[in-house]
A and B are shown apart, each in its own frame.
Chain A
Amino acid sequence: MSLDLVFDYVFSPAFFHGALLTLVITVTSLFFGMITGLIVALLQESRIKPLQIGTLVYLWLFRGTPVLFQIIFIYNVLPTFGIMLSAFVSAIIALSLNEGAYMAEIIRSGLQAVKKGQRTAGLALGMSRFAVMRYIVIPQAARIVLPPTGNQMIGMLKTSALVSVVAVEELLLVANQTASSNFKYFEALTAAGIYYLVLTTIFMGLQYLLERALDRKRPREKRRSVPLMARLTALTEKTEAR
């Protein structure tokens, strides 16, 4: 076992390139997956029957089969229908569609968690359905959706390793190939593990920052001590009223 070799691997162009590709696959799939999820969630909210059935079939297919199966299927079966896609594109499509199915459920539960009365109140003010969604429902749903979305982000980073099966040169495949040439599995896999941990740590940090940014009450905590007099007078007013 050689720590030097671990560091050599970590700083080697091959590993760096593999990690970069893992990151690109993850971010791209998350991006398209979230858009798919949002669209599917909104379609489910619509009251148009055929669209609802379509989304149900989609959810059923992509939540009901393994991701690995979906990756292999898209890469190997679509060409027989004349759709030729590179391994990279196949991988992105499979991961995005799979992610979309899970994000749809997360977003839908977030939208449903915003009480119906909030929408009614918006409509009663003369807002359009779109404005109610944009300014009332989505901002409140975002806060509910964020923690499970963070889980999905970190999950995707790890799921992306599965695309090595269609020979996309992502981090794990690079590590595995390197090790199989000299049987130094410990060094190669440790190097890959370090990259995975660094990336997941960055994702967790991002999630934390986002959650803090969305929690608008936090910056006010400090300000709380200021209106003490106002609070005291308010208290006496209350007792007087009784």
Chain B
Amino acid sequence: MTASERQPLLEIMGINKSFGDLQILKACSLNVRSRETMVIIGPSGSGKSTLLRCINLLEPADDGNIFFEGNDIARELRRAPEIRRQIGMVFQNFELFQHLTAIENIMLAPMKVLGMSRSDAHDVAMDLLKKVRIPERADFFPDELSGGQQQRIAIARALAMKPKLMLYDEPTSALDPEMIREVLDVMAELSSEGMTSIVVTHEMGFAKRAADQIVFMENGEVIENASRDAFFGGTVNERATRFLDQILH
């Protein structure tokens, strides 16, 4: 089955979002198929993060539709917690819970949201710590870990809810250069295993490696939406090319 034959897992249709007089998103439409990785690039202030936050209803879209597994969730704010369980999110600043150890950070939501027992949650968390390659840091507190380690724990924390979709909001922007690699490696591995993902990033190396689709946003609009090969093959919009030139130099 090729990607194009699959039903989209997420279908965003013409969403608008304004904060006061400032329109952040202008009629944005995107499709993400199951097992696909979409990379969103664009200058800061172009609405990329807001778009992610609209998808898991952290920000309600003003209008438009967001179909997740075929159901329009755009106005289902009451069901937001239930929807968010199925959509993992990773933040620029990690946002690990400071009062909990690495493993407790991963165990919290499975226990308190899914009602999993402590020992089951512990097993799940331990497996995930192995997956993100830091099982030996299980009992460390966030402020005892490097940025790269914290971000990998944050990825594990999101994965513990067994999400159908992962949202990464500039996951490596707050990291020292030598730690970016370890985080991108984990993300690329997840993508190659078929974790459906939307990644807001400036890491074009990651896009080349892991993206199926690349989206370029500017001023709240989706300017370009191309397959990886088309994008890097040079058949892109001239504004996107200009932006690429800027971030690569």
Contact = CB atoms under 8 A, between A and B. Distances in A.
Contact of A121 (B91, B141, B178): B91
Given A117-B93, A220-B139, A230-B136, A126 B98 contact: no
Interface stretch (A133-141, A175-183, A205-213): A133-141
A126 B57 CA distance: 11
Contact of B99 (A120, A127, A216, A227): A216
Chain A interface size band reads 20 to 34
B68 to A, nearest CB: 14
Contacts of B108: 125, 135-136
B116 interface: no
Contacts of B89: 121, 124
A125 B161 contact: yes
Interface in B155-174: 157-158, 161
A125 B93 contact: no
B85 A126 contact: yes
Interface string A115-157: 1011011111111100100011001100100000000000000
Interface in B72-114: 80-89, 91, 93, 95-99, 108-109, 112-113
A139 B105 CA distance: 13
Contacts of B113: 125-127, 131
Contact of A124 (B58, B98, B178): B58
A125 B97 CA distance: 12
A227 B83 CA distance: 40
A234 interface: yes
A94 to B, nearest CB: 36
Contacts of A128: 81
Contacts of B85: 125-126
B56 interface: yes
Given A135-B112, A241-B178, A127 B81 contact: yes
A136 B97 contact: yes
Chain B interface size band reads 20 to 34
A126 B93 contact: no
A120 B95 contact: yes
Interface string A223-242: 00001001000100000011
Contact of B178 (A126, A131, A242): A242
Nearest to A136: B97
B81 A126 contact: yes
A143 B85 CA distance: 29
Contact of B141 (A131, A135, A139, A217): A217
B136 A139 contact: no
B101 to A, nearest CB: 8
Interface in B166-197: 178, 181-182
A220 B143 CA distance: 14
B54 to A, nearest CB: 13
Contacts of A118: 95, 97-98
Given A117-B91, A120-B91, A131-B112, A140 B58 contact: no
A138 to B, nearest CB: 10
A81 B238 CA distance: 78
Contact of A127 (B88, B109, B181): B109
| Centre residue among B97, B154, B158 by max chain A CB count within 10 A | B97
Contacts of A127: 81, 109, 112-113
Contacts of B154: 121
A122 B97 CA distance: 9
Given A117-B91, A117-B93, A131-B112, A126 B99 contact: no
A21 B94 CA distance: 51
A230 B109 CA distance: 28
B153 to A, nearest CB: 12
| Centre residue among A117, A125, A139, A140 by max chain B CB count within 10 A | A125
A126 B109 contact: yes
Leading 7 A-B pairs by shortest Cβ distance: A126-B85, A121-B95, A125-B109, A124-B89, A126-B84, A117-B95, A230-B136
Given A124-B56, A241-B181, 13 more contacts: A117-B93, A118-B98, A120-B95, A121-B96, A123-B58, A124-B88, A126-B83, A127-B81, A131-B112, A136-B108, A143-B99, A230-B136, A241-B182
Interface of B: 56, 58, 80-89, 91, 93, 95-99, 108-109, 112-113, 136, 139, 141, 154, 157-158, 161, 178, 181-182
